[in-house]
Amino acid sequence: MLRRWRDDDRAPFAAMNADPRVMAYFPGGLDRAESDRLVDRIGQHLADHGFAPWAIEVPGVAPFAGFVGLSIPRFAAHFTPCVEVGWRLAFEHWGRGYATEGARAALAHGFGLLALPAVVSFTSVANRRSRDVMERLGMRHDPAEDFDHPAVAEGHPLRRHVLYRLEAGAFVV
Ligand SMILES: CC(C)(COP(=O)(O)OP(=O)(O)OC[C@H]1O[C@@H](n2cnc3c(N)ncnc32)[C@H](O)[C@@H]1OP(=O)(O)O)[C@@H](O)C(=O)NCCC(=O)NCCS
């Protein structure tokens, strides 16, 4: 189930943001204050734009399993401004299809109600599981569009990112 965030999501969200397995392809984990600031930013994004990543609940299993959804990247790159689809699941919920299923719902919302012409997704080159989600969604990778993420320090092994795109007409529900 995809739903709005609640205050009691903050503790399990902070736990997953401090898990080195979940944060392996980010420059570092988040502490509780940084994790809470991210929840606040998601709430502000919803207020500003009318959409934002949803919290994922698995009824009868976990009240909070992660997030998935649409957002507008805050940095400048050759493909911005744009809307991205992104995901992050607590480690115990990997391998069940939740990210792909949730992202399909986000894309249906983006191409339907929001009438977006295209949605992108990006991650560190080595983040195979995330790239697999992009490929299952039918997103296309053009190596000529790979880029250095401006928020990752120069020389850091995670700086190089792949960019995937999906045009509205190519989305199959
Ligand atoms: C990226 C991430 C969300 C991918 O999670 P995931 O569980 O591998 O992806 P999905 O939810 O799409 O699940 C797909 C897996 O579930 C399996 N699966 C099991 N039951 C399924 C079902 N009913 N339907 C679909 N897939 C199912 C698939 O076979 C696949 O398994 P495989 O990877 O062994 O082939 C997760 O690894 C993560 O949170 N990583 C850390 C955060 C991160 O890096 N985010 C991206 C940064 S840009």
pLDDT in tens, 19-53: 999 999 999 999 999 999 999 999 999 999 999 99
How far, CA to CA in Å, does 39 sit from each of 60, 143, 154?
Answer: 24, 32, 27
How many A from CA of 133 to the centre of ligand 1? 7
pLDDT in tens, 5-25: 999 999 999 999 999 999 999
Check pocket membership of 121 for ligand 1, CB cut-off 6 A: no
pLDDT in tens, 119-162: 999 999 999 999 999 999 999 999 999 999 999 999 999 999 99
How many A from CA of 89 to the centre of ligand 1? 8
Closest residue by Cα to atom 24, ligand 1, is 97
Kindly indicate the confidence band of residue 165, based on its pLDDT and cuts at 50, 70 and 90.
Answer: very high
Closest residue by Cα to atom 35, ligand 1, is 95
Whether 30 contacts 23, CB under 8 Å: yes
pLDDT at 173 over 80: no
pTM above 0.95, yes or no: yes
What's the gap between Cα 102 and its chain centre? 10
Q: Are strands 160-167 and 140-141 parallel, antiparallel or unpaired?
A: antiparallel
Instruction: Say what the alpha-carbon torsion angle 30, 135, 113, 64 is, to the nearest 10 degrees.
Output: -40
How many A from CA of 88 to the centre of ligand 1? 10
pLDDT in tens, 42-94: 999 999 999 999 999 999 999 999 999 999 999 999 999 999 999 999 999 99
